[in-house]
Amino acid sequence: MAKVTNPRQLAVLTLNKLEKTEDFLREVLDSHLRQNSLSSLDQGLYTELVYGTVRMRRSLDYVLSLCSSRPLAKIKPEILNVLRSAVYQILYLDRVPARAAVHEAVNLARLFGHEGLAKFTNGILRQVVRRRGSIPYPDQGRDLVRHLGVKYSFPDWIVEHWLDWLGKDETVALCQALNEPPRLQIRVNTLKHSPEEVQTYLEGRGLSVKPGQYAPDILEVSPAHLAVRDQGLEAGMYYVQDESSALAAHALQAEPGQTVYDLCSAPGGKATHLAQLMGNEGKILAFDISPNRLRLVEENARRLGAAIIETRVGNAAENLQLPPAPRVLVDAPCSGLGTMGHRPDIRWRKELGDIEELAALQRQILAAAARYVVPGGLLLYSTCTLTSNENQAVADWFLASHGDFQGYSFPDWFPASAGPAWMKTILPHRHGLDGFFLAIFRKI
């Protein structure tokens, strides 16, 4: 098949594939970038169109339903994705003139359909352009959950949970923050280079670079697609990791020479970070239930030079018969809602029923992990999600049911967070990072 050079056409092809498969957005997008021929500038537009259209799908469909006499379910899927991506440009991309978005969409409708569908597309999008400043979203006085869900493009169950947990103002701010284009952060591999050396290197490659907000080994870089395709990544100069996730290894406060158990390790971001913070002195046993995913840990460890990591297949929810160690990390399986900025498809993949199932699994893993901590040792519980059921409730349950543990303090430089001192909830609208949760316990 001929390589695609039109970023809008490739965006529609990507959206079409996502509709037909269970593949993750990032995997499909990366595959399409490798297989086709987009300029550096067009790669940025293509990525923005795919991420934005997936992120705002519910809102886009609502707007389309106001402007189409035909039910969306009866529109050819390829044409519906043409319409969605065009409406995203009209409503959310100021740098794209509306007439250009309409013109390109009409051409794509002709390509994916026929002249009749091109005229249909033109008619709908002209209505969207006329109505874009006065879209009548559902009345918030009658149904606040649906109003926010439609306007900000989240499932109702997520909005309802956040309203109960955070209240209206913070829920609105959180929705807005998670709909911002994501920023890329990298963790400098200090086993090989200093942050200053990596910053100088990347700036020399034409990237904009600035230090992270909190962690000393984090840099924020743009444009993102240049950083993830630079040879420095493959050479182990740095690892792509959001700053909130990087806080976990710092929170565990592991020391050189210690033994650390990372019970849910794949793909190895936190294990390799711990190795560099320990100066490659000691031992890190990295467990995962999947041998295939453990190979990712091994590949990352080799690339980054993290020599003290040993991988083992093991189910963290069961008793692994481990001798007690001074540091244990449980980066638990979770619903991942804190990463929706980088992974917008997650909001459409999870359901309310998943949350309690995950919370039960998290309690099971923590109960098993408690057996492996020496007196005076630390146990860290972390997730990359934003539900109180998986975060605060699980942490509170652990202390209430394990009288031989108590809450422990974080390093002084950690971001401020509401709640007890042994618990940190990183919120995108407050901290400007991916959503993340940390709770640290000390065995008495």
Catalytic machinery residues: 384
Q: E strands of 322-410, at which residues?
A: 325-331, 373-383, 405-407
User: Which secondary-structure segment (H or E) carries 136?
Assistant: none
Helices assigned H by DSSP within 133-258: 144-152, 156-166, 168-178, 195-204, 224-228, 231-234, 243-252
What gap in Å lies between CA 430 and CA 61, rounded to an integer? Answer: 29
**φ, ψ for residue 381, nearest 5 deg:** -110, 125
End-to-end CA distance of the chain: 64
Strand, coil or helix: what is 206?
Answer: coil
* Token duo for residue 425: 């909830």
What gap in Å lies between CA 150 and CA 146, rounded to an integer? Answer: 6
Under DSSP, the state recorded for 75 is: S
Strand, coil or helix: what is 5?
Answer: coil
Identity of the residue numbered 317: A
Helices assigned H by DSSP within 56-178: 57-67, 77-92, 98-112, 115-131, 144-152, 156-166, 168-178
Angle at 31 between CA 30 and CA 32, to 5 degrees: 90
By the 8 A CB rule, do 259 and 328 touch? no
Angle at 303 between CA 297 and CA 309, to 5 degrees: 45
What gap in Å lies between CA 74 and CA 64, rounded to an integer? Answer: 13
Under DSSP, the state recorded for 326 is: E
CA distances from 391 to 24, 335, 374 (A): 25, 11, 24
Long-range contacts of 350-356, Cβ-Cβ distance < 8 Å, separation of 24 or more: 350/155, 351/155, 351/157, 352/157, 352/161, 355/161, 355/387, 355/389, 355/390, 356/389
What gap in Å lies between CA 399 and CA 125, rounded to an integer? Answer: 56
